[in-house]
Amino acid sequence: MKTYGRGVKCSGQKEGGDKDAVFILEDGATLKNAIIGADQIEGVHCKGSCTIQNVWWTDVCEDALSLKGSGSGTHRIIGGGARNADDKVIQHNSGGKVTIQDFTVQNFGKLYRACGNCSKQFKRTVEISGVKASSGKALVGINSNYGDTATISGCASSVKEICVEYEGTDNNDKEPKKKGSGPSNACKYTEPLAKC
């Protein structure tokens, strides 16, 4: 597999844009069998529904995968993995559903986060199966006040929280408030998740 980058140094958690992405996928596009190197600021941006298959991020900078657009389609992440994400691996700004299947994540802040303070908010659904997670702060963050749900199965070692619920806001200047964590009507999984 080939490694792709942008030849730039990671700027930490400073928000980048489409101009900084390694790949920009249009609605319905598929990216597969690729390695995203450390020399980038933003990894992959999806402008609508997309499929990410067997894609590996060696060193996540701001986010590995940003799901954008105004649609409510389905985003599929199949296989692959990411490591060394200070914050988020998958940032879900659009509406719709995300399925994450057989993904490996190591040394991370959050594997998946539904946008907590986007100016346009949606109900978002994430289904995670066969995940292998190690050394992370939280596997999933959702906004239960917007009707978000997460269904999770797989294994996790040294992950502090599996599913965190937030009170999301449409005010981009405010940070969302944490409501709690653990299994609930919004966070659907059995505790404890198996160790990897």
Provide the domain limits for residue 154.
2-188
194 belongs to a structural domain: no
Residue 140 is encoded by which pair of tokens? Answer: 């999933």
Cα-Cα end-to-end distance for the chain:
26
List phi, psi (to 5°) of 6.
-125, 0
Inside any domain, residue 165: yes
Residue 196 lies in a domain: no
Considering the domain boundaries, does residue 120 fall inside one? yes
pLDDT at 14 exceeding the cut of 90: no
Over residues 11-39, the mean pLDDT reads 91
Model confidence over 79-127: pLDDT tens digits?
A: 999 999 999 999 999 999 999 999 999 999 999 999 999 999 999 999 9
Q: Residue 79: give its domain's CATH number.
A: 2.160.20.10
Whether residue 65 is contained in a domain is answered as yes
In a domain, 172, yes or no: yes
Alpha carbon 93 to chain centroid, angstroms: 10
> What is the percent of the chain where pLDDT is above 70?
98
* pTM beyond 0.85, yes or no: yes
Phi, psi at residue 12, to the nearest 5°?
70, -145
Mean pLDDT of 61-74: 90
Residue 13, pLDDT score: 67
For residue 58, the one-letter residue type is: T
In a domain, 158, yes or no: yes
Task: Give the pLDDT mean for 153-177.
Answer: 97
Burial class (CB in 10 A: 0-12, 13-18, 19+), 184: middle
For residue 148, give every residue at least 6 positions away whose Cβ sits within 8 Å of its Cβ, in sequence order, or none: 114, 123, 124, 125, 126, 142, 168, 186
Q: Is 195 part of any domain? A: no
Helix (H, G, I), strand (E, B) or coil at 144: helix
Q: How many domains does the chain have?
A: 1
Mean pLDDT over the full length of the chain: 96
Q: Residue 96: its pLDDT value, please? A: 95
> Are 181 and 163 spatial neighbours (Cβ–Cβ below 8 Å)?
yes
